[in-house]
Structure 1
Amino acid sequence: MSRASKLPRPIRAGEQSVASTADAGALDCAAILQSAGEVPYEWRIDTDVLTWGADAARILGLRSIAPVASGAGFEALLAKDNAKTRRDTILHSTGTDHGAGVPYQVQYALRLGPRSPKLWIEDTGRWFAGADGKPCMAHGIVRVINERHEREEKLAYLSRFDAQTGEINRWYMTERLAETLKETERTQSSCGFLLVAIDNLGRINRSYGYDVADEVIAVIAKRLRGRMRCNDILGRFSGNKFGIILSKCSPDEIGVAAERLLAAMRDDVVMTTAGPVPVGGTISGISAPGHASTVEEVLARAQETLDRAREKRPGSFLAYQPSLEREAQRRANIRATDSIIHALNENRILLAYEPVVDAQSRDLAFYECLLRVRKPDGTLAPAAEVVPIAERLNLARLLDQRVLDLAIEEMAAHPELRASLNVSASSTIDPDWWTRLESLLRLNPAVAERLIVEITETAAIHDLDNARGFVRRVKDLGARIAIDDFGAGYTSFQNLRKLGVDMIKIDGAFVQNLVRSQDDRTFVRAMLDLGRGLKLKTVAEWVQNEQSAAILTSWGCDFLQGHHIGRAALTRPEAATPKAATGS
């Protein structure tokens, strides 16, 4: 007797479940399955007899269970395009039955008539082997999953296609691009990639609304599709950009295709619910494998070329051309990024303290905390060497966060320390920097009144509303705000008053030649008068000699800073007790 023959007999069609006489409270399993819309079955593979549980005909949408009383009869109702069936799953199983059976689960569709919709089934069960080790019996449960299958199909569609345009999305487009590059390598041919940007989509959003901008995007997608070859691939790259993969395309043909697509975008206005909207576009193109051999290289160089085209010649096509200078800069950026990240991870970011003194008494007022990076060879890199690169690579906020941590830690450990620290423009709108500042000052409330936060004048006037919000939030936390490099951006009297800062630090470029330059003397004195008129404390940076210091003091400058006063150092003198920067 085979192991399969020892298994309990399933409930047959029309039979009622009988509770155990030993336990009158046993569950009525057949009723539960029927209520849940599930049907048990047993399939004797050797005889092809298929026995079903109660209510199978209703759940499967059949008038009678007779047509599916055999495996062959059931398979006759299966849709022709099923990827797998129950029979395939069991008979091609690689599992081995060691006595407990081998589990399986498969989804397939029934089509009960030529014009009937598909009925999607989930089939879960176990098959059992006969004496020869091959499947001889299976039992399981089927359920109708039409709604779930529809949801899964929709999710699968959205994972590969853009809902707004119906074209493939960026993720799937990169897959197709990878396949195209492999095929190009195999056939030793070439292909192209175009990055198409709708120009001024932000203006359309502001002028007409986002719904109209969405209409524009959908229409442009159709126009691009209408001017492409049938074998080319169009995908939504990002909000206002499309990517087009040009299979079997020479470098010269890339330009021809791009001009055809530009014409499609700009020749006619786009008719929307808000009326006609003029639309233009800019396109970049790259040939592969000639100018790029990987997906990453194709996308990066296409984006880089598009940026150049939009900056210099919006509304045109620009093809990527190799540049030794650009490649050298890219490699330098990669090295710089790696260097900065390693310095952060290895705690090689340090603070140097540059003294700022009271102009009249020359007593220490506070220190400016300046960033230093200890290189792997032990030498120090100043902020001027690191910060511009970090800002270009969008890493300045990470450095700002580390400097903030170090400065607050030092001020908390030394209650006499008053200090200022610089914040880059990117950090003023960085929620992580704000969260860190708030939490550190909450943990160390006595630090706030001794802390001065410096932002550059150019950053402040670039976005005055954002700068005002930044100033207000810092002051609400109890700290003070200084405008650094004041004079470089030529802030107006009205804007300076609106900002509500506590202090201005006059740009050292105007201070360092104070003795020799009448123009600089005129300019610096005017800024000091402006600060005094607004009741702001003033700091002169880059004071180089005693003569300059004396002039500044006679003009009413409050604080002095520069090499004549003291150079920045990793350690600071502890003898002097600092005075408040407010002059109180």
Structure 2
Amino acid sequence: MSQPVESARAPVEPADASPLNAAVTSRDREVMAMVRKALERKDVMLAFQPVISIARADRPAFYEGFIRLLDETRRIIPARDFMGSVETSEIGRIIDCLSLEMGLQALARARDLRMAINMSARSIAYPGWMRTLRRGLRACPTAAERLILEISEESVMVMPDIVAVFMKELQKQGISFALDDFGAGMTSFRYLKQLLFDFIKIDGQFIRGIADNPDNQCMARALLAVAREFDMFAVAESVESARDADCLAAMGMHCLQGYYVGAPSVTPPWKAEKPKKSA
């Protein structure tokens, strides 16, 4: 009887043993180490991006504040490199607290400012987040009516019933809510009716290049119709060209946000120096 022939193929290594995956894992560790150190130093700032009402384009309807973490050289750590990893961790809750703290400080300094700040539904039960909100509203009671809390569609669907109670209590204080990235997930219309957001922000995947994309035009109209049905303002995210802006205006979109309207700036736009009058 002949002996079995051994396979000439090398054994398959686990995927995480490949040089590429090892490099990615190492980079991720380095990024998270930078994030932790930035939070320890409180080396953070907000970048402000305008949201423009089509009905009144001469001034922003409000600004969205994006948190920016800085490394030891004062360079911004790209949010895309760590936000997905911290969503379910305490680091994510700390970032939400710092975002809220800085947003409330900005509202206290500029009494005619309206601002949206991002948060995760997971921060609702985090004691530090509610303490930060109460402290900020005690310092500036009028901030409540100028504060918009943005919660992503994906985050809302993790705990919709808890979000509904949370929103109802804070809306009594004058705080508004925006459903971020609408259309990207699986929001049930039953929950949408129950939650009663003030703003719906249509996900950028349906907005970029919309002037030349009939399918996206159809989706945007459908999402806009949902917003109108529930008496919510619709904001188109990721507006990047004049043609897209014109297309969205023609279909009746309420507000626009994106690089065409205005890029995020770490210098508060409302603090821009006004030109001096000539003598």
Distance 2:151 2:183 in 1: 13
Contact 1:333 1:393 survives alignment (8 Å):
no
Which one of 105, 111, 116 corresponds to residue 409 of structure 1? 105
| Residue in 2 that maps onto 1:569 | 265
Deviations 1:64-119 (A, max 9, x none): xxxxxxxxxxxxxxxxxxxxxxxxxxxxxxxxxxxxxxxxxxxxxxxxxxxxxxxx
1:331, distance to aligned residue in structure 2 (A):
4.8
Letter matched to residue 345 of structure 1? E
**What's the counterpart of residue 77 of structure 2?**
381
CA distance in structure 2 between the partners assigned to 1:356 and 1:450 by the alignment = 14
Task: List aligned pairs for 1:302-313, cutoff 5 A.
Answer: none
Determine whether 1:348 maps to 2:17: no
1:265-304 alignment, distance < 5 Å: none
Secondary structure at the counterpart of residue 415 of structure 1: coil
Task: Give the Cα–Cα distance (whole angstroms) in 2 for the partners of residues 397 and 426 of structure 1.
Answer: 8
Structure 2 length-normalised TM: 0.84
1:324 has 2:20 as partner: no
Please point out which of 402, 419, 424 is paired with 2:115.
419
Q: CA deviation at 1:322?
A: 10
2:197 partner SS: coil
Report % sequence identity: 31
Structure 2 gaps of 5+ residues are 1-13, 273-279
**Shift in alpha-carbon separation, 1:446–1:330, aligned structure 2, 3 A:** same
Secondary structure in structure 1 of the residue aligned to 2:82: helix
1:458 to partner: Cα distance: 1.2
Alignment map for 1:242-257 (pairs within 5 Å) = none
- Aligned pair count? 256
Structure 1 distance, partners of 2:144, 2:31, is: 34
* Residue 464 of structure 1, aligned match among 160, 163, 167: 160
Contact 2:48 2:265 in 1 (8 A): yes
Q: TM-score, normalized by length of structure 1?
A: 0.42
- Of 531, 535, 538, which aligns to 2:231? 535
Offset of 1:443 from its aligned partner? Answer: 2.5
Pairwise CA distance, 1:364: 1.1
Highest relative contact order (Cα 8 Å, sep 6+), 1 or 2?
Answer: 2
- Of residues 40, 54, 65, the one that matches 1:359 is 54
| Partner SS for 1:399 | helix
Return the alpha-carbon distance in structure 2 between the equivalents of residues 475 and 339 of structure 1: 36
Deviation at 1:420, TM superposition (A): 0.2
Relative to structure 2, which stretch is displaced further, 370-379 or 559-568?
Answer: 370-379
Please state which structure has a larger fraction of its residues in helix: 2
Q: Secondary structure at the match of 2:145?
A: helix
Contact 2:193/2:230 (<8 A) preserved: yes
Determine the C-alpha separation between the residues in 2 that align with 1:571 and 1:445.
25
Find the residue that maps to 1:356 and give its secondary structure. Answer: strand
Report how far residue 381 of structure 1 moved.
2.6
Matched, 1:336 2:52: no
SS at 1:420's partner residue?
strand
**Secondary structure at 1:505 match in 2:** strand
The superposition leaves residues 143-202 of structure 1 with CA deviations (integer Å, 9 ceiling, x where unpaired) of xxxxxxxxxxxxxxxxxxxxxxxxxxxxxxxxxxxxxxxxxxxxxxxxxxxxxxxxxxxx
Distance 1:393 1:498, change over 3 A: closer
Deviates most, 455-464 or 567-576: 567-576
Contact 2:88-2:122 within 8 A present in 1 as well: no
